[in-house]
Chain A
Amino acid sequence: MSRTILHADMDAFYASIEQRDRPELRGRPVIVGGSSARGVVAAASYEARKFGVHSAMPSVQAKQRCPDAVFLRGDMAKYKRESQRIFKIFRRYTPVVEPISLDEAFLDLTGTERLLGPPTQVAQKLRTEVLKEIELAVSVGIAPVKMVAKIASDSAKPDGLLEIAPDQVRSFLDPLPVSRIWGVGRVAAERLEALGIHRIGDLARAKDTSLHERLGDWGVAIARLARGDDERDVEPYREAKSYGEENTFESDVMDSRVLQRTIQTHADAVARRLRRDELRAGGVVLKLKLARGLGQGRYPILTRQTALSIPTDDGRELAAAAIDLLERLRLKEPVRLVGVSAIRFCTADNEQLELPSIAMVDPLRRSLNHAMDQINDRYGDHALHRGDGPVDRAGLTFQIKRGED
């Protein structure tokens, strides 16, 4: 049965909220993101986009392109509140809402036509409600599969609506560059272009056997997407497979003590999320981006992971494992970015108990974590922190925390 999937994506979300709340910014280029040397753009208003500024662009470059832009550090707590209000509107139409980030979601409208009317009408109503109640514009794409809906909403921007009927999918996708396929980044696009595959249509027409030969399973998988064949369901309760935190330093870091403290801060944040969701991590991943550039804004990325014999939700233990990975790398060069992720989740039940007095996490640590969580939940994220950690995240650049926390 053909499905009806709607992809809703707020236009220049963070920047639009700022323009809404501060009328003096309306009509002016607004850039939300880190303004430091290493900062990146988290959101750019359409006025700024005219100058070629886009999200994830280094702030320095954005400043060069658009010197008159208003740079704002942003207020993540406010954006989260707005996001929650918007998602409430989404859920008026269907309970099957899959959040992709704070400002983006899939809605499965399959089978709602008799109840709600044709999808285009639903989408228009949703857009009107968001505009009226939140005073923000949302663009919507409608298609039989997720990936096409996402591309359609992107094509509809700003403040637009585009429906791709099942028989229009191929003619819509074929002329688009391969980089528009969800999951095809710069490196992947370059690989495809090296094979003479520039347009989605080129990929759709390529033979699976030759793609498999040249690109392996990945090639066959993206060719299916190129043909509009995307079986992925809208998953309202999609379980996270990992929790991660990372930051780019203001200036490159050699000092292992700074790296270790940063790892501890990230591990604490990750651990807190594990505790909130009553999960334990059975593994830890350390990610490092080295300062030595490879050109074109690319840097070598190292990731190392380790298994924990006892799954944990304790920040000290996660950090200890990540720091151990760091030490084993015997790094002799400066680092640009460091990240810590928790992986291999298990629930807090099915818990292997530890021998008393040999236990690594003593019950005291557990109650300390619990107490810290309660205080931070009540008085704000950094009301209480470790004495030996960084005082706060100042010095860490603005993080784009999409759909997290």
Chain B
Amino acid sequence: MKFQIDRDELLRGLGRIQGIVERRGTLPILSNALFQVREDGITLAATDLEVGVTATLAAKVTKTGAVTLVAKKLYEIVRELEETELTFSLEEGSRVRIDSGKARFSLLSISPEEYPSIPSGDGVNFVEMEASLLAEMVDRTMYATSTDEARYNLNGVFMELTEDKRLRCVATDGHRLAKIDKTPQKPLEFLSKGIIVPRKGVGEIRKLCDETDATVELGLRDGFLIVRRTGLTLSCRLIEGEFPNYRQVLPDDPKVRLLVDRERLLHAVRRISLLAHERSRGFRLAIEDGVLELSANNPDLGEAVEQLEIDYSGKRVETGFNARYMLDVLGSMISKEVSLELTDELAPARICPADDPDLLAVIMPMRL
């Protein structure tokens, strides 16, 4: 195996896989990246068995072959090299020699036969989708996923094709829920039965969307969601399990519906939450004629109150929320105004952008 490669080209590839390789994993091979050197160029691959990425890199290949090298250390080395051209060659005793000007490194390689297989895009029926649209759907929902490993079926974003052929993403951690429906240029028919894409995979998909201006391709293969763009293929092992019946939690017919300036509300919640109880992060939200009042008190520190003017007349409604949940929701939206819909102090609250019926967030209150 021998090839020459541009330093920046390799650095981009190595940088792309750093989030995937394990730093201190139980399996040493998973700290490594796989280089497959073919006549027409090389591919660089990494996986943690859940998420896999394969990137093609331009290189001048002298001799084909395959090696695995410890990904983080190699990244650090390449970052420090000054020459623009690097030469990789396999030495005796499965060492890989890297030459760059007068600098020379010799790195141990683990046999590529030991490297776990990464699902490729070959033979997958891909459907194209606008990268920016997919990115938006991720941004509006991912925050609501659960990090509690005991609730593995909530550790990702649920994606499905709706009856009217739209793409729906839903995420929930049991306390709050985010749902978005959008219409991609082509319906993702393979999602007629929904899938749960784990957080880490969703994060990688989001990155991939940023790396292209045009479209990405999506498809399913043996329990993996495959997403690719030119030069890069990503595979995400799907979470096996049922996503809960989220339709039941979507509140209908709220008692109170009011429009609030999103940024004003967000900043007010952020201020008030400074005096919320550290652990519960709870604050009170009350509405009555013309006024929305936010308040918090912390027995060790003191209390805070802030009022916002609103267009409301009717019964007083008071409830409490975790400030973090409210900030997450308001921060995930971009509209100028949001519609805040409440029923009573124990019923789920619904928040949606005033100008976008496709997006919806639900937060359960807190008993304060």
CA gap between A215 and B368 in the complex, in Å: 45
Instruction: Tell me whether A355 and B148 are in contact (CB under 8 A).
Output: no
A355 B362 Cβ-Cβ under 8 A: yes
Q: Indicate if B300 sits at the interface (CB-CB under 8 A).
A: no
* A309-B173, A346-B280 as given contacts; A353 in contact with B151, CB under 8 Å: no
- Residues of A within 8 Å of B, CB-based: how many? 22
Q: Is the CB of A310 within 8 A of B175?
A: yes
Q: Which of B171-198 contact A (CB under 8 A)?
A: 172-177
- Contact indicator B177/A355 (Cβ below 8 Å): yes
Chain B residue contacts of A351, Cβ below 8 A:
366-367
A352 on interface, CB distance cutoff 8 Å: yes
Complex Cα–Cα for A308 and B148 (A):
7
**Selected interface stretch from B48-56, B79-87, B222-230, B244-252:** B244-252
What chain B residues lie within 8 Å of A358 (beta carbons)?
154, 172, 174, 177, 244, 246, 249
| Residues in B351-368 with C-beta less than 8 Å from chain A | 362, 364-368
Q: Is the Cβ of B362 less than 8 Å from the Cβ of A309?
A: no
Residues of B within 8 A of A308 (CB): 148, 150
In this assembly, does B322 line the interface, its C-beta being within 8 Å of a C-beta of chain A? yes
A184 CB within 8 Å of chain B: no
Could you tell me the distance in whole angstroms from the C-beta of A315 to the nearest C-beta in chain B? 14
Chain A minimum-CB-distance residue to B282: A350
Q: In the complex, what residues of A have CB within 8 A of residue B249's CB?
A: 355-358
Q: Which residues of B contact A346 (CB under 8 A)?
A: 279-280
**B277 contacts A by Cβ under 8 Å:** yes
**Interface membership of A75, Cβ < 8 A:** no
Interface 1/0 per residue, B316-327 and A, CB below 8 Å? 000000100000
Instruction: Compute how far the CA of A355 lies from the CA of B175 in the bound complex, rounded to whole angstroms.
Output: 6
Chain A, residue nearest B152 (CB): A324
Also in contact, A309 and B174, with CB within 8 A (given A350-B366, A360-B151): yes
B149 at the interface (CB under 8 A from A): yes
Given known A-B contacts A310-B174, A352-B322, A355-B177, A320 and B244 have beta carbons under 8 A apart: no
Please, which residues of chain B bring their CB within 8 A of the CB of A352?
175, 280, 322, 364, 366
CB distance from A357 to the nearest CB of B (A): 4
| Residue in A closest to B147 when the chains form the complex, CB atoms | A309
Q: How far is the CB of B156 from chain A (nearest CB, A)?
A: 14
Give CA–CA (A357, B177) in the complex, Å. Answer: 12
- Point out the residue from B244, B277, B366 that lies within 8 Å of A353, measured CB to CB: B366
How many Å from the CB of A19 to the closest CB on chain B?
Answer: 49
Q: Chain A: which residue is nearest B247 at the CB level?
A: A357
Min CB–CB distance A59 → chain B (angstroms): 38
Q: Does B162 contact A (CB under 8 A)?
A: no
- What residues on A are CB-neighbors of B348 within 8 Å? 355-356
CB-defined contacts of A349 to chain B, threshold 8 Å? 367-368
Within 8 A of A (CB), among B100-151: 146-151
Shortest distance between the CB of B359 and any CB in chain A (Å): 18
In angstroms, Cα B346 to Cα A317, docked, is 23
* Cβ B177 vs Cβ A350 within 8 A: no
Residues of A within 8 A of B (CB): 282, 306, 308-310, 317, 320-321, 324, 346, 349-360
Nearest 7 CB-CB pairs, A to B? A309-B148, A357-B248, A350-B280, A353-B364, A355-B249, A358-B244, A351-B367
**9 extra interface residue pairs, beta carbon distance < 8 Å, beyond A355-B348, A356-B248, A357-B248:** A308-B148, A309-B151, A350-B277, A350-B282, A351-B367, A352-B175, A353-B366, A357-B246, A360-B174
